[in-house]
Structure 1
Amino acid sequence: MTKQPTDAGAMAGTPPAPPRTGVPSPAATAKGLHRGSVSLLGAVALGLSSVAPAYSIAVTLGLVTLVAGHLAPAALLLGFVPILLTAFAFREFNRQLPDCGTTFVWTTRAFGPLAGWLVGGWVVQIATLIAMTALSQVGAVYLLQVLGLHTWEQRPLAVTVTAVLLLAALTAVARRGLRIAASVQYVLLGLQLTALFGFGAAALVQRHSVRPSLSWLNPFAFGDPGSCAQAVLLCLFIYWGWDSLITVNEETDSDRVPGRAVLISTFTLLGTYLFTAFAAISFAGTGSTGIGLGNAATATDVLATLAPPVLGSVLAKAVQLAVCVSAVSALLTTLISSSRTTLSMAAHGALPAAFRRIHPHHRTPAFGTVFFGVATAALLVLLQLLSPRFLGDAILSIGLLIACYYGTTALACVWHFRSQLRDSPRDLLMKGVLPLLGAVLMLAAFARSAYDMYAPAYGSTSFHGVGGVFLLGFGSLALGVAAVLIARARFPRFFREGRTAVTRITVTED
């Protein structure tokens, strides 16, 4: 699926570093969540599912190829670098501050409550909400296709109603708890990976496929820095979402599980994407006509174009089902992660108390889960009523928000652990050098995204010569500034005490 004012009082002193015992703080264990309900495999499955690998590669690979040609695998590799560097920041934070609020808690501890609420809370949730709206629509369209209801998929009302019903079903699953959600994700993720690797293997052995070349991975082969930057920015979206698994850090067997799951899931994504990209380029080439990946007419769904000639019409249905499942799976994971972020914010006194209610039987943030399901449905209906093009530009603006909060979180890691950077070479590298490089790359991506999005031709809408994608992205940030000012008046204790103290956590039940 995105970036700070600070609280002067909170910045006056640096809070003591938390103990390195690996034991969650009282704040992290008092919310009423079910400890030990998520294994390492379950966390990895949730992380991978939230990225929606089949959907992401289907809608992004063609766009990357339009920009990078046969160097699309190199762009995928370059785009992975800032993601990996940021992942180290998430892992180090989680080891010492394992709170389901993740970026909200970490940014608050590092830069104060204003930055924590705006960047670690608001920006993340807005980006996720927009993504959930898109995923619900995509899931509905592909579901209708799989069911053979092609007439309905062309009707906006039918798609919207199907998306709302899909949201209702997934909200019910997420509300019942992580054990059932993780079990569902195993099946959904297995179908996605099987379809992608099956498609890739079949494409590589086709008679007319060319031999893949390692030169396609050469990042120095880009002749134009601008095209390289644009391709890498597109790739940020394809990896976004793995951090959702960190929000279940209070429900794992160990505080080290989320950190390990982060690295496993990100490298699994890299391998999956590179294999699929090599196979697709090998079979179809990068031409601008026919099934070529450089054909603008088919760039937004390359799997739908390539699956029939590679697998035949019957097995191509399985790939179509995998893309549908991918969107549904990601939607389920985002429902899980979003409600846990708001649970933490409410537990720390930064949101209304209703968000910290835990279901007495399922031990899940029931109110927050239902809230996000309803909010997503409402936003989908609103954007469809305004214009389908408006929804498309809202989706494109997510890239700006992703770079904003990833970059800020990486900077927060460096600042929070600054007193420990001299303790050992390992601390200097993992808590300082690598997260700092990640922050620089992410914030550079943020600046480049803003520059590109300002152009009126970027996206489908514009207003007085300014791109609609830019206005939506910065409009979300501006709305967040207004929201944080309202929150500051509504929750003065949180903003007064800042990062040096946390309000007493009281968990209520439905």
Structure 2
Amino acid sequence: MKQNVVRTIRLPQAIALYVAAVIGAGVLLLPGLAATTAGPASILAWIFDCCLGIPLALTFAALASRYPDAGGVATFTTRAFGPAVGAVTGWFYFIASIVGQIIVPLTGAYYIADALYLGRDATFLIAAAILIAAIVPNLYGLRVSGRLALLLSASVALLLLIATLVSIPRMHAVHWTPFAPHGLPAIGQAGVLIFFAFFGWEAIAQLSAEFIHPERDVPRSTLWSVGLVTILYLGVAIATIGTGTYGTAALDRVSVARLLSDALGIGAGAVAAVMALVISLGTVNAYVAASSRLGYALARDRALPGWLEQLDRQGIPRRSLLFIGVVALLGLILTYLVGWSASSLLIIPNSLGIATYVIGTAAGAWLLAGLSRWLAAGSCLLCLAIFFFAGTSIAIPLIIATVALVYRQWRCQKKSLHSLDAGPR
């Protein structure tokens, strides 16, 4: 009898997984970096992207609650546009997620190594340890990793909330002038930059089949998560601008940690290390869970090798989990040997993530009805506008799409030949 995934996710774990997937290591970098790019007017970019995040989140929630499946966005696009487009979209997200599981642990490791005055070798070892620490709980199912996500998400939310609140006495109106020192184009550039902080609303779609009550808890957890993420992001952005905690590359990198350290009188490096560890571990935990389910679903639908389709007796896709872990670890080794950094890899998940959003929201506009359809259509147009600024990185989705289609065609032909050989003679 074919094994199916097991329903174990309740509302608290769902909210925790959402928050962990969205609030990644970028929150440590982007408030200061965006403020340096556009000045105080960067708050407009934060508001715009927060507003865009709401219809995006609601669109994927509507699709996930209607079509709960481990394939997530690949399943939606298959239903809307056929299996070829579904396979391409699945490959986009699967590869973006694996590369993200190199970037996020490495970003967290940078902060930890900097606080402890460690070298490059130790930095990559810490990154590998973060990745392994996220994979191991997932091998025991979402009941275990969901509890870890709940603990980590609560810690992240508390740290960001404290960073905002303790900064209030040090906020001054003088830091808001001049409001737009670099003009309107800089606000748009900041908006594209900040968009990276809102990746993740699609991630939990891959876990929708494991919600105990997907039709009820997917929308509820989405609404709770949207509210929490919006409050935390805007609070940190306002605190960063209002206290003038930005302006140099060194300060931008630890601006959120500096909000805490300045108010509490402790070292910014130590604060940044703790925040980076908690955030990166929580983000990788959520993405490992989501992408492993997607790998299983793509294999089931003949878009990835069939041996990834197997589930264990508890319904856990351990082969997919281990495959992702091994590939990400190999990616870390390659990054170390070639001399790349986390920022040099960012172009890959950014371009593939935006492409996934464009196709996924287009599927929502096709499949949904009423207000949900209009939200999906509006989100699709806004994502296309952001994709317009992708520049030459648009080549990455085109290359991945070509490889995905060629592989799927080969698997389908192989299956057809096998069926003919096994037929009556």
Give the TM-score of the pair, scaled to structure 1. Answer: 0.75
Residue identity matched to 1:169: A
Aligned partner of residue 483 in structure 1, secondary structure: helix
Aligned partner of residue 84 in structure 2, secondary structure: helix
Question: When the two structures are aligned, how many residues end up with a matched partner?
Answer: 414
Is the Cα–Cα contact under 8 Å of residues 138 and 324 in structure 1 kept in the other structure?
no
CA distance in 2, matches of 1:239, 1:254: 25
2:379 to 421, 434, 438: 438
Residue identity matched to 1:482: V
Residue identity matched to 1:488: Q
Provide the residue aligned with 1:18 in structure 2: none
Question: Does the alignment pair 1:487 with 2:408?
Answer: yes
- What stretches of structure 2 of length at least 5 have no aligned partner? 417-425
1:85-96 correspondence runs (5 A): 85-96=55-66
CA displacement 1:176-201 (0-9 Å, x = unmatched) = 11111111112211221111111211
Residue 309 of structure 1: CA displacement? 1.9
2:76 to 94, 98, 106: 106
Q: 1:323 to 1:159 in 2, by over 3 A?
A: closer
Is the Cα–Cα contact under 8 Å of residues 212 and 278 in structure 1 kept in the other structure?
no
1:307-456 correspondence runs (5 A): 307-313=260-266, 317-360=270-313, 362-389=314-341, 391-417=342-368, 427-431=369-373, 433-450=374-391, 454=392
2:92 to 106, 114, 123: 123
CA displacement 1:12-47 (0-9 Å, x = unmatched) = xxxxxxxxxxxxxxxxxx752111x11111011001
Provide the residue aligned with 1:278 in structure 2: 238
CA distance in 2, matches of 1:313, 1:447: 43
Is the Cα–Cα contact under 8 Å of residues 195 and 318 in structure 1 kept in the other structure?
no
Provide the residue aligned with 1:197 in structure 2: 161
- What stretches of structure 1 of length at least 5 have no aligned partner? 1-29, 286-291, 418-426, 455-469, 496-510
1:132-281 correspondence runs (5 A): 132-144=101-113, 148=116, 150=117, 152=118, 154=119, 156-206=120-170, 209-210=171-172, 224-256=183-215, 257-281=217-241
Residue 131 of structure 1: CA displacement? 1.1
Is the Cα–Cα contact under 8 Å of residues 100 and 250 in structure 1 kept in the other structure?
yes
Residue 416 of structure 1: CA displacement? 2.7
Q: 1:300 to 1:477 in 2, by over 3 A?
A: farther
Aligned partner of residue 190 in structure 1, secondary structure: helix
Residue 316 of structure 1: CA displacement? 7.0
Is the Cα–Cα contact under 8 Å of residues 192 and 322 in structure 1 kept in the other structure?
yes
CA displacement 1:31-82 (0-9 Å, x = unmatched) = 52111x11111011001111235x3221111121122211222211101233
Provide the residue aligned with 1:466 in structure 2: none
Q: 1:280 to 1:114 in 2, by over 3 A?
A: same
Aligned partner of residue 205 in structure 1, secondary structure: helix
CA distance in 2, matches of 1:197, 1:129: 30
Aligned partner of residue 253 in structure 2, secondary structure: coil
Residue 349 of structure 1: CA displacement? 3.1
Aligned partner of residue 265 in structure 2, secondary structure: helix
CA distance in 1, matches of 2:33, 2:129: 31
Residue 170 of structure 1: CA displacement? 2.1
Aligned partner of residue 329 in structure 2, secondary structure: helix
Residue 225 of structure 1: CA displacement? 4.1
CA displacement 1:291-318 (0-9 Å, x = unmatched) = x412244223312444322221169734
Give the TM-score of the pair, scaled to structure 2. Answer: 0.89
Provide the residue aligned with 2:18 in structure 1: 47
CA displacement 1:326-377 (0-9 Å, x = unmatched) = 01111111110000011112223332222121122x4311000111011101
Residue identity matched to 1:392: S
Question: Does the alignment pair 1:77 with 2:47?
Answer: yes
CA distance in 1, matches of 2:372, 2:94: 27
Q: 1:394 to 1:483 in 2, by over 3 A?
A: same
Q: 1:92 to 1:189 in 2, by over 3 A?
A: closer
CA distance in 1, matches of 2:258, 2:213: 44
Residue 448 of structure 1: CA displacement? 1.5
CA displacement 1:369-417 (0-9 Å, x = unmatched) = 111011101111112212225x522213432222211111111111234
Residue identity matched to 2:285: L
CA distance in 2, matches of 1:223, 1:319: 29
Is the Cα–Cα contact under 8 Å of residues 346 and 356 in structure 1 kept in the other structure?
yes
Q: CA RMSD in A?
A: 2.6
